[in-house]
Structure 1
């Protein structure tokens, strides 16, 4: 089992070197889709027979066309704006992220999922929430740029589960 995990990680690392942008986008789409599966199965307790595959596909699409590209570009830009790996640099990145981008990103996420789900502007507006700065502080301090998108999506699995639930709540 451990050898398979090591092989999968080595393969992921190799693909990250060869196709970093594509892999980050695919990883993001897959993890946002996984978040919807967790939301439907563990939070909403729908069961496999009542699982909404269309909704999961919609959420994975949001990860592919919105979450991955937007955050991938943002993290690259942020690394140019705030150079370094120190605690101070990580703190500055977290502040930029939480004060400048997180509210806009979250608004976009809720708007895109709401739009794809057929919600009115009024219903979309009611779904806005805050994002977690502590996870981003750790992400910017400990994680290399090429892995930040994947790590933030892994850390955000529960957050995205919550967002999936909120975005699709009637």
Structure 2
């Protein structure tokens, strides 16, 4: 409970920094889960650079982009009703999610050292599968998020749910 209060105080004092650091931390955790539980690499073969890259993507891309998107979306679709939450989810999943994945996957590929040609081929191969998998998870999560969760907690809620999603994205982004 004390940890939650400290998080709330930090969020109130430094909302942007805390949201970005939360996203980065949870992206790193997602990669650790991917490497250890999904890929079963073991500690000896754990790629620390990859975990650091995913955490960096969280702090430098996911946190700022998603956090900023939630502010924009609240301006585009103001309100807090069930219908408003549904509209926000439809705009988020119909417009933002495809663009976000289209940026995230090549960015992760570039940071992993893929050539432009390999990155393009990987994007063409993985994008549709990642987007379809997105639609299995995120519409319900976002509907609840937009209806029940105040704006300043949305990124944290999404990133907590996203630990599993981040594991998937890390695995997808790092498949040969």
TM-score, normalising length: structure 2: 0.91
> What is the distance in 2 between the residues matched to 1:64 and 1:30?
8
Q: CA deviation at 1:118?
A: 2.1
Q: Using the alignment, how far apart are the partners of 2:50 and 2:125 within structure 1?
A: 20
Runs of 4+ deviating beyond 4 Å: none
List gaps (5 residues or longer) in structure 1. Answer: 1-5
For structure 2, the 5+ residue unaligned runs are: none
Taking the aligned partners of 1:55 and 1:124, their CA distance within structure 2 comes to 18
Q: Cα RMSD over matched residues?
A: 0.8
Residue 124 of structure 1 and its aligned partner are, at CA, apart by 2.6
Number of residue-to-residue matches in the alignment: 165
Given the alignment, which residue of 14, 23, 43 partners 1:19? 14
Q: 1:66 aligns with which of 52, 61, 83?
A: 61
1: CA distance between counterparts of 2:22 and 2:41?
Answer: 25
Cα deviation 1:108-140 (Å, max 9, x = unaligned):
110110111122211232121212211111111
Q: Distance in 1 between matches of 2:15 and 2:71?
A: 12
Larger relative contact order (Cα-Cα within 8 Å, sequence gap ≥ 6): 2
